[in-house]
Amino acid sequence: MNVYEKLEQIKKDAKEHIGLVKSIHALNEVKAKFLGKKGSFSEIMMLMKDLPNDEKPKFGQITNEAKQIILDYIEEQKTIIEAAIVADMLKSETIDVTLPGKKFEIGSLHLLTQIQNEIEDLFVGMGYEIMEGPEIEIDEYNFEKLNLPKDHPARDMQDTFYISEDTLLRTHTSPVQVRTMLNNEHKNAIKIICPGKVYRRDADDATHSHQFMQIEGLVVDETTSLSDLKGTLLAVAKKMFGEGREIRLRPSYFPFTEPSVEVDVSCHNCNGKGCNVCKGTGWIEILGAGMVNNNVLEACGYDSTKYQGFAFGMGVERIAMLKYGINDIRLFYTNDVRFNKQFK
Ligand code: PHE
């Protein structure tokens, strides 16, 4: 085999070898085998010195061309290998969208939160602000400023958890109203609702809980009257129990309001005819309310000859129980998912 034939042979070998290579690493090895220092071409160079001088340049040129051809093979194979790597990767990372997915249990807002949100929405729509306050209160704000001095018999209506002689767990959210009136530097109009947890020293049973939720409201300005109160509470009744509802006010007593009323809503279950939900009367008591007592306005820095207002308070649990026929208040706090799930 002369050098020309040898050169052809090397090209042929290289083409075959390179075509079989499957990895970049192996490709580099093959490249060294043909083009490296100890590769096939070093042998050719040795043989070149035996050629007649006038043939050497031409042979040199052919050799260089052959090298270039081999480099081209390598480059081509490299492209093929890289494409295969990407294809492999795509294949191994494919997501099968037809496989069944993992099912997530999605929670929901607690029923009491839902009712609270609904009532808040209604009042915010009527221009009220939402105010919150501490659950640990001072006696002065929870009772005294609300026209309930120490030893007042009406304190018995709200059996209290005392923390010390002067601090207690608030028995209603009325102290938030006291705070709002006291904090109002301009002593001008107020329109707020106060949602939150309250505490009473009751023994827990189906209708009593030592902790429950209230939403109270307060409007103070120069003209607000009992008929404004009635219209406002009718809106609450309709929102919570349906458009067809009516309300009636019965005289009552609260130390912080005068006059005071108990508010009944026509029964949503029997439409007022009388059933077991309304105990045959056609009416259900839903909240207490009244015109703010002058003593309260004065105690909170308001001139009662100029300002007047109304206040109301409702129990969120009671509304939820009536609306959904829930017969045990403890269901709200025991977090049985079978109960909570029903109100998604
Ligand atoms: N604060 C009263 C209570 O918790 C509710 C109420 C508020 C009644 C405002 C009348 C006016 O019992």
User: Which domain-ending residue is among 65, 92, 119?
Assistant: 92
pLDDT at residue number 277: 87
Across the range 17-27, mean pLDDT stands at: 90
288 CA to centre of ligand 1 in angstroms: 6
Same domain, 130 and 222: yes
Residue 198 lies in a domain: yes
40-52 pLDDT, tens digit each: 888 777 777 888 8
Same domain, 87 and 168: no
Residue 17 lies in a domain: yes
Same domain, 37 and 130: no
If one residue of 197, 256, 260, 286 were mutated to test the ligand 1 pocket, choosing by the most ligand atoms within 8 A of its CB, it would be 256
Q: Considering only 137-141, 157-161, 295-299, which range has the smallest mean pLDDT? A: 157-161
300-318 pLDDT, tens digit each: 999 999 999 999 999 999 9
Same domain, 58 and 176: no
Residue 131 or 154, more confident: 131
Across the range 188-203, mean pLDDT stands at: 96
Same domain, 162 and 299: yes
Ligand 1 atom at shortest distance from the alpha carbon of 174: 1
Total number of domains in the chain: 2
Q: How many percent of the chain have pLDDT more than 70?
A: 100
Same domain, 81 and 197: no
Closest C-alpha to ligand 1, atom 2: 313
Same domain, 120 and 65: no
pTM score, whole prediction: 0.71
Closest by CA position to 314, among listed 231, 195, 220: 195
| 343: confidence class by pLDDT, cuts 50, 70, 90 | very high
DSSP for 224-241 reads --HHHHHHHHHHHHHHHH
> Whole domain around residue 32: which residue ranges?
3-92
89-121 pLDDT, tens digit each: 998 888 888 888 888 888 889 999 999 999 999
- Tell me what the pLDDT averaged over the chain comes to: 93
Residue 261 lies in a domain: yes
56-90 pLDDT, tens digit each: 888 888 888 888 999 999 999 999 999 999 999 99
Residue 106 lies in a domain: no
Residue 99 lies in a domain: no
Alpha-carbon 170 to chain mean position? 28
Same domain, 182 and 62: no
If one residue of 220, 229, 254 were mutated to test the ligand 1 pocket, choosing by the most ligand atoms within 8 A of its CB, it would be 254
Closest by CA position to 198, among listed 185, 184, 182, 210: 210
313 CA to centre of ligand 1 in angstroms: 4
Does residue 8 register a pLDDT over 90?
Answer: no
Does residue 157 register a pLDDT over 80?
Answer: no
Residue 68 lies in a domain: yes
pLDDT at residue number 252: 97
pLDDT at residue number 9: 87
Question: Which protein residues are within 6 Å of ligand 1, measured from CB?
Answer: 172, 174, 216, 254, 257, 288-290, 311-313
User: Which domain-ending residue is among 92, 120, 145?
Assistant: 92
Q: How many percent of the chain have pLDDT more than 90?
A: 69
228 contact partners, CB below 8 Å, separation of at least 6: 219, 310
Distance CA 289, CA 225 (A): 12
Residue 100 lies in a domain: no
pLDDT at residue number 329: 96
Residue 105 lies in a domain: no
Task: For residue 236, give the CATH number of its domain.
Answer: 3.30.930.10
**Structure tokens belonging to residue 251:** 């005289």
pLDDT at residue number 1: 75
158 CA to centre of ligand 1 in angstroms: 10
Same domain, 142 and 229: yes
17 CA to centre of ligand 1 in angstroms: 94
238-286 pLDDT, tens digit each: 999 999 999 999 999 999 999 999 999 999 999 999 998 899 999 999 9
Same domain, 326 and 285: yes
Closest by CA position to 7, among listed 77, 73, 58, 62: 62
Same domain, 64 and 183: no
User: Which domain-ending residue is among 92, 127, 143?
Assistant: 92
Same domain, 307 and 228: yes
If one residue of 148, 174, 229 were mutated to test the ligand 1 pocket, choosing by the most ligand atoms within 8 A of its CB, it would be 174
